[in-house]
Amino acid sequence: MEQEECPFKWGDRVTHKLFGFATVNGEPTAIVGPDATLRRTVPRGWTVRLSGMIRARRPLV
Asked if 36 and 16 count as a contact pair (C-beta separation under 8 A), the reply is no
Rg (CA), the chain: 15
Residue 29 lies in a domain: yes
Total structural domains within the chain: 1
Each residue's pLDDT tens digit, 1-56: 566 788 889 999 988 777 788 999 988 888 888 887 877 888 888 888 888 877 76
Residue 33 lies in a domain: yes
Model pTM greater than 0.85?
A: no
Residue 6 lies in a domain: no
The residue-averaged pLDDT of 57-61 equals 56
Q: DSSP of the chain, one letter per residue?
A: -PPPPPS--TT-EEEETTTEEEEE-S--EEEEEEETTTTEEEEEEEE--EEEEEPPP----
Residue 61 lies in a domain: no
- What pLDDT, on the 0 to 100 scale, is given for residue 25? 92
Residue 3 lies in a domain: no
Q: What domain range includes position 41? A: 13-54
Could you tell me which of 7, 8, 6 has the C-alpha nearest to residue 24? 8
